[in-house]
Amino acid sequence: MGPMNRLIDRYAVVFVAVAATLWASDAYFRNQLVQHLSATQIVVAEDALVTLFLLPVLIRNRHELRLLGRRGWTAVAIIAAGAQALATILFTASFSIAAQHQVFAETFVLQQTQPLIAIVLAWIVLGERRRPWFWPAAAVAMVGVYMVVFASDPFSPLSALQNGRLEVGLLALGAAGLWASGTVLGRFALGSISFWSMTALRFSLALPVLVMVVLVQSGLGGFGHYRVSDFVPNLLAIAIVPGLLALLLYYRALSKTPASLATIAEMAYPVAATLIASAPPPWGFNQPIYPVQVLGTALLLGVIFFFNWTREKAPPVVVRPLSVAEV
């Protein structure tokens, strides 16, 4: 085992958070595409590029696919169709409706139920049990994220929920549930296949679903809005950084992290996305950074490092490393 593998094993919870932070980097490139491409059109292009990159992995590791079994294939299918494809669409739809009625906070606060759903699923599906100190630490992490996301108006979620719309909340909860299931089922599938194969299956199986969604929404014309300038650098960068590299790192670290700890580390994503919004246009929205956001970020980071330091040994997971040179 090389030094990088030993480092990831030792700081697995931290590396899950690093991967989640990389997911938020797509804002730098996505904001320059949304003027003429829908969220689904962006996601399907990203998914197609990553699938193309990882096709050699699927061919080389095809023998692993027999190890999944019926339950493993079911888990991977839910991850691909749910966490990779449908969850993004549900969250985007929730945000769009919320924008029409000025209840943005409803989407964001209900999406923060994701770690709670994942912890329950990890208990049911994986049999994970957490020690008593886990719950106050997780509560501190969630408070920290709340301080970052709602720094400008801490009471906006209360008014948004009181005056909210049912469809906005249901769509946000649906996305949260699918993303939470992706964490737990990914941890389950990694017991049978390598993190390389898990990443490749997630994108390749989601691609037909996303193509069908574009066809239903816009017909064949939905694929006619792309420009050559969209792919370099924007779509290519989205596919490589928050797509390929982030998911490979995520599944490698998840193989050594209990799902209930990983879901707390994933809360680095909304924190990073909120802070990235402070960048100048066209990458961000020039939002100010408040002192309370710095404090909230520090609280979340403290909990992540605390969980990494105190984490119980994760149940054995078979990890079959695959170097790029071997692909």
pLDDT of 323 reads 42
User: What are the residue boundaries of the structural domains of the chain, listed by start?
Assistant: 3-138+154-265
Check pLDDT > 50 for residue 32: yes
Q: Are 250 and 8 in contact (CB under 8 A)?
A: no
Q: How far apart are CA 111 and CA 178, in angstroms?
A: 11
Tokens representing residue 66 in the block: 């027999």
Evaluated on CA atoms 259, 263, 268, 273, the torsion sign reads positive
Check pLDDT > 80 for residue 113: yes
Binned at pLDDT 50, 70 and 90, residue 153 comes out as confident
Tokens representing residue 82 in the block: 């749910």
Question: Angle at which helices 12-24 and 291-310 pack, to 10 degrees?
Answer: 140
Check pLDDT > 90 for residue 160: no
- Please return the burial class of 74, using the count of CB atoms within 10 Å of its CB with bins 0-12, 13-18 and 19+: middle
Tell me which of 101-105, 239-243, 269-273 is least confident.
101-105
Residue 290 CB: number of other CB atoms within 10 A? 14
- Helices (runs of H) and strands (runs of E) counted in the chain: 18, 0
Binned at pLDDT 50, 70 and 90, residue 91 comes out as confident
Percent of the chain with pLDDT over 70: 90
Q: How far apart are CA 40 and CA 236, in angstroms?
A: 16
Q: Are 224 and 38 in contact (CB under 8 A)?
A: no
Tokens representing residue 165 in the block: 């719309």
Q: Are 161 and 109 in contact (CB under 8 A)?
A: yes
Q: How far apart are CA 146 and CA 105, in angstroms?
A: 11
Of 318 and 166, which is predicted with more confidence?
166
Return the closest-CA partner of residue 18 out of 269, 255, 205, 187: 269
Residues 18-47: what's their mean pLDDT?
A: 85
pLDDT of 97 reads 77
**pLDDT winner (highest mean) among 23-32, 110-119, 270-279:** 110-119
Instruction: Compute φ and ψ for 190, nearest 5 degrees.
Output: -70, -10
Q: Three-class SS of residue 127?
A: coil
Residue position matching structure tokens 């749910």: 82
Binned at pLDDT 50, 70 and 90, residue 49 comes out as very high
**Own/partner long-range contacts of 229-232 (Cβ < 8 Å, ≥24 apart):** 230/33, 230/37, 230/45, 231/45
Residues 286-322: tens digit of each pLDDT = 778 889 999 999 999 999 999 999 876 555 554 444 4
pLDDT of 284 reads 65
| Residue 138, H or E segment | helix 134-149
Of 322 and 65, which is predicted with more confidence?
65
Q: How far apart are CA 171 and CA 9, in angstroms?
A: 36
- Cβ neighbors of 146 (< 8 A, separation 6 or more) are 112, 154, 296
Tokens representing residue 104 in the block: 């943005």
- Cβ neighbors of 90 (< 8 A, separation 6 or more) are 171, 172, 174, 175, 178
Residues 71-77: what's their mean pLDDT?
A: 94
